[in-house]
Amino acid sequence: MTADEFLTWSASWVEGERYELVDGFPVRLQAERIAHAMVKLSIAIEIRRALRAAERSICHAFIDGVSVRIAEDTLREPDVLVHCGPFDPNGKIADNPVVLVEVVSPSSVTADRERKLIDYFAIPSVRHYLVVLIPDRRVIHYERAIEGGDFQVRIAGTADELSLDPLGIRLAVAEFFADLPEDAGSWET
């Protein structure tokens, strides 16, 4: 299945269904735990706050439902993304993502840290990939200094800030987890 065929097929989904297209095959996304949804929303709010503070009006934070094109047969749907430049408000794909965020869940831990890392940095515009670990309240920050260049890795905790350049924004990691109850985030069932 191509990305265009996938997008046409997506019009037939039942409300609430979510899929990614991986190597031509639709992959259903798992339902999220409340802690996952809380952290994802907090990240989007913190990014929006930072973009506004930096007066980056050409950049926007998107959450859920907006995909990025990895290849002609692969579309991914990050938990949060920052897109800079013009966009179609009725579209489903962010053409110029600069920051991609995945909040790790038990079912996605391997894909988020391995396959999606490779996929996301295949997009030339992507400069930052944040992998958010709820149980540890940490963020693995992969940063590419220039388009197409090598990347650096940093692990940040709640006492740290992330600098996302060239956007010129700083994110307080503590804000990602601020509303999360202290006992939330365990993957124990």
Three-state secondary structure call for residue 155: strand
Looking at residue 16, its pLDDT comes to 76
Whole-angstrom distance between the N-terminal and C-terminal Cα of the chain? Answer: 36
Rounded Cα–Cα distance for residues 63 and 61 (Å): 7
Element (H, E) at 110: helix 109-113
Rounded Cα–Cα distance for residues 180 and 189 (Å): 17
Looking at residue 118, its pLDDT comes to 92
Looking at residue 189, its pLDDT comes to 44
pTM for the full model? 0.93
**Per-run averaged pLDDT (10 residues), the chain, 189 residues:** 92 84 92 91 97 93 93 96 95 95 80 84 94 94 80 94 94 95 67
Looking at residue 18, its pLDDT comes to 86
Rounded Cα–Cα distance for residues 100 and 122 (Å): 12
Q: Is the peptide bond before 97 cis (omega within 30 degrees of 0)?
A: no
Q: Say if strands 68-71 and 74-76 run parallel, antiparallel, or are unpaired.
A: antiparallel
